[in-house]
């Protein structure tokens, strides 16, 4: 056999062996996840959930996933398909997984829209210097008999496995657990505004809870129904004494509850504890020159909390000067970023299931909770400030206007500093929460802020925290996870708590960050200097106005009438100068910041261009060196094989 034919047969045999081994491995369903976080493999509880799907109650999963997605959604699409194929491989006869790749206006696309309401989402793609709008399908529908759950679109901030498992658990259970939401003046369930004649939408938190629970609106003036598994009370201080008694009876029975007490609710300042109750709808409107007519007297919410084992001063609003985000350098310190501190302390170190796996939670103008003396209830801090915090009083941060009522928040210059952490959220447990005949206990989570569950955090949770558009999440706030963990833990169903903590680690190019650190530090310093200069200039202009007014006021030669005329004239003139000065200072500040940002961006681009050049030039060098060595070795061997008599210069 000729050598050429022999090599051809060997090559064909190798190809047949490779194809056969690939087919055998595919049939055996052998898989391995070698990633650091293990996000491409499903967890043991998920495997048990899949194994529990039987032929008697089958489940069909319809996944509509576009072939082409923008770069930011590639990872989401890949993880979604990986999880679905893993479920398809592990599932039995009762689980059917259909993965479709619909094109716009195709029969598959029409099926998704008509049958499950899964419509394509317009997503902006910025690739190759072009900006275009793509219609993307990333939806999944779960059907089991009469039960149906739909994920309309998996945005880049969501975890595919968590969303899939939550929908699968919901569709396979006979009945959802019930979360009862009391109707207080904090209308998070939505409300019809009689004055504006329009419907106020429910908060996003309600829609998120409905994906897993039956959410029911409860009358605060009646007993809590027996089938309510968890009670959610938004803004406890906006309740009357009879209403608090119903809640007290519910908690004394050992039933779980999540209570929120906000000293300064930004979404509606009229719900502050110091303000009177709102009147019932249609019972009175706000006067133009006075406060609105009040409703019933508020209940003793402070005494109510002390009976639970919690002491709360409704006048204190906490702050923390530790801000780990340079992009939020101008944020007031009363916006508290609860996470691991620079001194190494970790507020999530309690290992309570409510805070398990959390990275960072944001609290907006929250209050302080402490353990009440003389109670046997266990007080477990969940969220707290660091050692560089303190508080301000409610009166220091608000002001009352004759026409517009309570206004705020006002940021005072003076603050009361404390060297010890202040608790913002805590879990209170006592005794046992067993059924009838068992010892009655307490199972309550108290959160001294309601704004932290605002819609903006749910939007951020869905879309991810990519601020600079580089495809990497710069921030990751776990406000949504904290709330859902609290509800799950209180209801006794912690099956999804571990799954929520499984998140990909967005690893940045540390070398690039190190090389651009000097430019970033310079930018932050110049932005801070520009802000300080603007503040000092405005303060100086204000001082000139105060000096002119003081000079006229102290002139003994002027009578009161002349003094008032001159004061008014001086104030008008100085105010015009002050306003003009402020506009000029603001423009100078904006120009300085824009110049600094431009210089920073240029420095970053120089580093990126240098790395790009190195990335193009360096990789071929080893191959060129290796090729040169092989060529030299080959030449030496050729030279060695030439007889000495044939070499040049031989005699």
Q: pLDDT per residue over 448-483, tens digit each?
A: 999 999 999 988 888 776 655 555 556 788 999 999
pLDDT at residue 263 greater than cutoff 70: yes
pLDDT in tens, 50-90: 888 989 999 999 999 999 888 888 888 998 998 898 888 88
Report whether the peptide linkage leading into residue 409 is cis, meaning its omega lies within 30 degrees of zero.
yes
Q: Which two tokens stand for residue 413?
A: 């210059």
Between 260 and 430, residue with greater pLDDT: 260
Strand partners, 364: 335
Separation between Cα atoms, residue 393 and residue 453, nearest integer Å: 23
Q: 575-585 burial, b for 16+ CB within 10 Å, e for fewer?
A: eeebeebeeeb
| Per-residue confidence band for 35, with pLDDT thresholds at 50, 70 and 90 | low
pLDDT at residue 651 greater than cutoff 80: no
Among candidate residues 248, 247, 71, 43, the one with its CA nearest the CA of residue 156: 71
Q: Is the dihedral of CA 385, 492, 186, 501 positive or negative?
A: positive
* Cα–Cα distance list, 2 to 10, 14, 136, 167, 618 (Å): 13, 19, 56, 64, 43
- For residues 281, 283, 284, 285, the Cα torsion angle rounded to the nearest 10 degrees is 20
Query: Which among 255-269, 496-510, 551-565 has the top mean pLDDT?
Result: 255-269
Separation between Cα atoms, residue 484 and residue 109, nearest integer Å: 33
Q: Left (φ > 0), alpha (ψ -120 to 50) or beta: where does 509 sit? A: beta
Q: How far is CA 442 from the centre of its chain?
A: 29
Average pLDDT over residues 585-602: 71
Average pLDDT over residues 574-578: 69
High-pLDDT (> 90) share of the chain, %: 38
Q: What is the mean pLDDT of the chain?
A: 82
Q: What are phi and psi of 596, to 5 degrees?
A: -65, -45
Rg of the chain over Cα atoms, rounded to whole angstroms, equals 33
Q: What are phi and psi of 180, to 5 degrees?
A: -95, 130
Q: Which two tokens stand for residue 649?
A: 């210069």
| Per-residue confidence band for 518, with pLDDT thresholds at 50, 70 and 90 | low
Separation between Cα atoms, residue 4 and residue 612, nearest integer Å: 44
- pTM for this prediction: 0.74
Among candidate residues 623, 498, 527, 540, the one with its CA nearest the CA of residue 44: 498
pLDDT in tens, 315-342: 999 999 888 887 787 789 999 999 888 7
Separation between Cα atoms, residue 219 and residue 406, nearest integer Å: 28
Cβ atoms of 97 and 132 within 8 Å: the answer is no
pLDDT in tens, 273-306: 988 887 766 555 544 444 455 568 899 999 999 9
Between 541 and 340, residue with greater pLDDT: 340
């Amino acid at each position: 056999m000729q050598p050429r034919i022999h090599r051809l047969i060997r090559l064909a045999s190798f190809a047949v062996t490779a194809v056969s081994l690939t087919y055998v491995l595919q049939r055996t369903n052998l898989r391995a996840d070698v990633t650091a976080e293990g996000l491409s493999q499903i967890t043991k509880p998920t495997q048990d959930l899949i194994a529990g799907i039987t032929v008697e109650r089958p489940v069909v999963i319809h996944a509509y996933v576009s072939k082409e997605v923008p770069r930011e959604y590639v990872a989401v699409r890949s993880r979604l398909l990986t999880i679905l194929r893993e479920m398809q491989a592990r599932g039995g006869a009762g689980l059917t997984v259909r993965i479709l790749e619909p094109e716009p206006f195709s029969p598959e696309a029409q099926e998704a829209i008509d049958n499950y309401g899964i419509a394509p989402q317009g997503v902006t793609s910025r690739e190759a210097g072009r900006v275009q709008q793509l219609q993307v399908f990333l939806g999944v529908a779960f059907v089991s008999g009469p039960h149906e759950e739909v994920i309309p679109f998996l945005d880049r901030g969501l975890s595919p496995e968590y969303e899939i498992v939550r929908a699968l658990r919901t569709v396979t259970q006979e009945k959802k657990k019930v979360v009862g939401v009391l109707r207080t003046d904090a209308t998070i369930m939505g409300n019809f505004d009689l004055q504006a004649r329009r419907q106020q939408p429910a908060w996003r938190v309600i829609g998120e809870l409905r994906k897993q629970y039956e959410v029911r609106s409860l009358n605060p003036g009646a007993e809590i129904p027996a089938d309510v598994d968890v009670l959610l009370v938004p803004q406890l201080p906006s309740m009357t004494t009879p209403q608090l008694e119903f809640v007290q009876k519910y908690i004394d029975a050992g039933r779980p509850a999540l209570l929120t007490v906000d000293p300064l609710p930004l979404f509606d300042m009229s719900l502050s504890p110091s303000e009177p109750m709102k009147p019932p709808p249609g019972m009175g409107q706000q006067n133009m020159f006075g406060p609105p007519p009040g409703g019933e007297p508020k209940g003793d919410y402070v005494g109510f909390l002390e009976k639970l084992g919690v002491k709360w001063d409704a006048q204190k609003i906490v702050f923390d000067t530790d801000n780990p985000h340079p992009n939020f350098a101008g944020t007031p310190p009363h916006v508290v970023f609860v996470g691991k501190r620079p001194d190494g302390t970790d507020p999530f170190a309690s290992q309570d299931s409510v805070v398990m796996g959390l990275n960072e939670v944001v609290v907006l103008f929250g209050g302080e909770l402490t353990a009440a003396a003389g109670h046997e209830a266990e007080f477990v801090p969940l969220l707290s400030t660091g050692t560089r915090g303190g508080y301000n009083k409610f009166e220091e941060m608000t002001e009352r206007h004759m026409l517009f009522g309570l206004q705020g928040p006002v940021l005072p210059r003076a603050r009361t500093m404390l060297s010890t952490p202040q608790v913002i959220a805590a879990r209170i447990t006592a005794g046992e929460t067993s059924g009838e005949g068992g010892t009655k206990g307490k199972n309550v989570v108290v959160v001294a802020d309601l704004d932290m569950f605002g819609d903006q955090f749910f939007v951020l949770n869905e879309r991810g925290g990519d601020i600079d558009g580089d495809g990497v999440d710069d921030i990751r706030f776990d406000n949504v996870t904290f709330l859902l963990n609290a509800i799950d833990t209180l209801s006794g169903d912690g099956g999804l708590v571990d799954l929520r903590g499984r998140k990909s680690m967005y690893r940045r190019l540390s070398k690039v960050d190190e090389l651009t650190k000097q430019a970033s530090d310079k930018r932050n310093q110049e932005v801070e200097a520009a802000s300080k200069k603007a503040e000092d200039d405005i303060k100086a202009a204000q001082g000139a106005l105060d000096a002119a007014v003081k000079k006229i006021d102290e002139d003994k030669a002027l009578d009161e009438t002349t003094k008032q005329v001159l004061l008014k004239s001086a104030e008008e003139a100085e105010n015009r100068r002050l306003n003009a000065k402020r506009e000029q200072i603001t423009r100078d500040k904006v120009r300085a910041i824009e110049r600094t940002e431009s210089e920073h961006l240029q420095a970053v681009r120089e580093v990126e261009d240098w790395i790009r050049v190195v990335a193009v030039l360096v990789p071929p060098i080893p191959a060129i060196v290796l090729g040169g060595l092989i060529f030299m070795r080959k030449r030496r061997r050729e030279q060695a094989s030439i007889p000495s008599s044939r070499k040049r210069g031989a005699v």
